[in-house]
Structure 1
Amino acid sequence: MKTKTVELVAAPPSPHFVGDGFRVHNFIPGGFRMDMKRMDPFIMMDYNSKYVFPPATKPKGVGVHPHRGFETVTIAYKGRVAHHDSGGGGGVIGEGDIQWMTAASGVLHKEYHEEAWSKKGGEFQMVQLWVNLPKKDKMSPPKYQAIKYDTINRVALENNAGTIEVIAGEYQGTLGVASTFSPVNMMNAKLKKGGKASFQFPANFNTVLLAIEGSFIINGTEQVPTDHLALMANDGDQFEVEASEDSVILVLSGEPLNEPIAAQGPFVMNTREEIAEAIDDYNLGKFGHLED
């Protein structure tokens, strides 16, 4: 066993709006050496840090848009989002829920603040990830996984240190409820002040930790403040975190696909020719229909 060290700790980039309902910091692909190839299979991460939306009669959000070649994963920490896609998926995700949409061969999608929540307004906090699909699965049928908070498997840590919520992958023999196309670990570490948790992932897995709440220390040396992202080096397979205060840490670790990446807007394929085909298929209406 060898310790996995910290490559860098990144402050949240300047925020921008996606549509009018998501105020996000774009960590991946980012200017901290975290491009799509380095972070593979995590090819995009938008983090909507805590932000208060005032009450609105018309729900804010993002209108109909296409996706092909990857999966979108939205983790709700604060607020509620309604969503629909042309494959028939949809519903509402509230605090603690996860929306895992496999766009694959192509879907149209829209997402808005849930209507009742929008009328009241309030604190909003979410993470959206794009997880790349292997070449063999990019044109598979779209599918949808609605993961409710109370269905997530949990591991209670020793010494009353906290809990690990396993969304995907495995922690100490406990499996996540999400199905994945390649090895992906995704979990929330909810630690009490002074609580410690150890993680073990293969050295070649690309691994990041995002401080959703509180702050924490990695391997007893590297401090990660609130809303900051720690990128782990590919030099070992285990590391330890300790909460400096009550904390929530999003832990991501995935095996790189090591396949060519061609990306343009909402399409992520392996070649430029496949991108051109995706654009043509979208313009020809092959992604289905969805009312805005």
Structure 2
Amino acid sequence: MATRKIERIVKPSAPHFVGDGFRVHNFIPGAAGLDQKRMNPFILMDYNSKFYFPPTDTPRGVGVHPHRGFETVTIAYKGRVAHGDSSGGGGVIAEGDVQWMTAASGVLHKEYHEETFSKEGGDFHMVQLWVNLPAKDKMSTPKYQGIRNADIAKYDLPNEGGYVEVIAGNYKDVLGSASTFTPLYLLNLRLNKGGEVPLSFSTGFNTALLVVEGSIRVNNEEDVPTDHLVLFENNAEEFTVTATADAVVLVMSGEPIDEPIVSYGPFVMNTQEEIVQAMEDFQAGKFGRLED
């Protein structure tokens, strides 16, 4: 059977700050070949590689800001984040947890380092994805999924190779914990050195992985170090990941949404007119209220 081949391996860009609490490398749409159309339904990936924040009495983060037309997915590997939005969603996620916010018709949103973490300081390590919504769902009711690591379904690999956390989609008939609007997979591979994972996604699904910790070999051919992203061709279904050191790997694959993408800052819609309407609705206070 044909093997899904690597299209490119992307090294992290120079980091920049989002607010004062997120030191990120932007892979989507900032890196060459990773624009929103190519990666759809994944239209943004900011990666906060492991970074030490010293103690502070004032939590770092991003103050109140709007979103419309997509979902934000925040995966915590180190540190703790407090989330709040104007639809009533919110909570704290810690190591291994996931926040999945559906902005849809519009919310105000804020996210900060959790208060105790801020006072103690420590390593902070996160991924935030923006997941596109189809036109029919862009103006649906906002919702929030706070997913604790203990509740994430897991598949144990043979030969003490580690395990797969199924955040969304499925792996070997183990169903993911998150509900999604379109077919997509989001997996954390937590591998011991030598552990191997066979993976298979529909040929047309846009597919990538990020090496969060450790190092891996893809298809027993190409080595990929920490903090690098692998983009796969849409030429076949199956590939393998082998840990050349203890590793954590985020895998994402999704069915493209074959619709126009028009984005402006925190709004992602299908037409320029819808972007203008989003701005007017935000200025008119139609996204609700949220204290900073």
Distance 1:139 1:155 in 2: 35
Distance 2:242 2:290 in 1: 46
Distance 2:261 2:109 in 1: 22
Shift of 1:258: 1.1
> What is aligned with 2:46?
46
- Post-superposition, which runs of at least 4 consecutive aligned residues in structure 1 deviate over 6 A? none
> What is aligned with 1:98?
98
Distance 2:201 2:2 in 1: 11
- Counterparts of 1:152-191 in structure 2, within 5 Å, are 152-191=152-191
TM-score calculated relative to the size of structure 2: 0.99
Shift of 1:280: 0.3
- Give the residue type in structure 2 aligned to 1:171: Y
Shift of 1:30: 2.0
- Counterparts of 1:1-150 in structure 2, within 5 Å, are 1-150=1-150
- Give the residue type in structure 2 aligned to 1:16: H
> What is aligned with 2:274?
274
Shift of 1:160: 1.2
- 27-36 or 99-108, which deviates more: 27-36
Give 5+ residue unaligned stretches, structure 1.
none
**Count of aligned residue pairs for this structure pair:** 292
> What is aligned with 2:237?
237
> What is aligned with 1:213?
213
Distance 1:107 1:231 in 2: 31
Shift of 1:83: 1.0
Distance 2:285 2:30 in 1: 32
- Give the residue type in structure 1 aligned to 2:173: G
- Give the residue type in structure 1 aligned to 2:61: G
Shift of 1:2: 2.0
- Counterparts of 1:197-212 in structure 2, within 5 Å, are 197-212=197-212
Verify the 8 A CA contact 2:81 2:93 in the aligned structure 1. yes
Distance 1:36 1:57 in 2: 38
> What is aligned with 1:291?
291
Q: Deviation per CA, 1:68-90, whole angstroms, max 9, x where unpaired?
A: 00000000000001110000001
Q: Deviation per CA, 1:117-146, whole angstroms, max 9, x where unpaired?
A: 100000000000000001100000000001
Q: Deviation per CA, 1:143-194, whole angstroms, max 9, x where unpaired?
A: 0001000000000011111100000001011110100000010010011111
- 187-196 or 35-44, which deviates more: 187-196
- Give the residue type in structure 2 aligned to 1:54: P
SS in structure 2 of the partner of residue 8 of structure 1: strand
State the percentage of identical aligned residues.
64
Q: Deviation per CA, 1:223-260, whole angstroms, max 9, x where unpaired?
A: 11000000010000000011010000000000000110
SS in structure 2 of the partner of residue 289 of structure 1: coil
* Structural RMSD (CA): 0.5
TM-score calculated relative to the size of structure 1: 0.99
Distance 1:83 1:253 in 2: 26
> What is aligned with 1:252?
252
- Give the residue type in structure 2 aligned to 1:157: L
Shift of 1:31: 2.8
